[in-house]
Amino acid sequence: MADLTTKFAGIESPNPFWLASAPPTNMGSMVERAFDAGWGGAVWKTLGEPIVNVSSRLAAIDNGTNRMIGLNNIELITDRPLDVNLKEIYECKKKYPKNTVIVSLMVESKREAWHEIVKKAQDTGADGFELNFGCPHGMSERGMGAAMGQVPEYTCMVTEWVKEVSELPVIVKLTPNVTNIVPPAQAAVKGGADALSLINTINSVIGVDLDTM
């Protein structure tokens, strides 16, 4: 078998195939099942302040002939307690030390809040952080997610805050919901980001019939 070992932003992984931060990475059992199936790494579902996810929050998009060609969602970050997630991340890394676990983070735009969650998360043995500056719904109305990623100055500022205390590589996840993604990307690099992640959810509308509207 070919050796697919990779090194990205200083993070070693058995292969370059990682699960993105999403519902399939919302708990330890799901991530462990992915590792058993051969995935090299996973970005844990975004951790942050307590939220409530509505239901239903997924909807299928079809083109009239195919049943489903895409999904739209209004899911927020994880709705599971922070301490539970941190415990499961620790246990997952202990069980799968060679697989990559990246912790996605999103909290309010306060230095103390970012410092606190970074310090807690890096004690789990995780391999790196992903700063979620891209969530376009629910969180941006609270000054988080895309609200940070759409303003280069905020992107740079928060990245700097994280780098002040992080002992792990920092990946900044950018939002596509901008007219030009280059300035936020440059701001993240200026703030000290070790890598960039493209992209988070694209804003969209479902249930609209263009022929009858």
Which tokens hold the place of 153? 């100055």
> What is the three-class DSSP state of 77?
coil
Active site residue 135: yes
Alpha-carbon radius of gyration of the chain: 18
Name the catalytic one among 135, 144, 172, 174.
135
Whether the Cβ atoms of residue 44 and residue 19 lie closer than 8 Å to each other:
no
Q: What span, in angstroms and rounded, lies between the C-alpha atoms of 9 and 128? A: 9
Rounded to 5, what percent of the chain is helix, strand, coil? 30, 20, 45
What are the distances in angstroms from CA 107 to CA 45, 51, 110, 142, 197?
14, 11, 8, 10, 18
Whether the Cβ atoms of residue 158 and residue 187 lie closer than 8 Å to each other:
no
Q: Name beta bridge partners: 99.
A: none
Known catalytic residues are 135
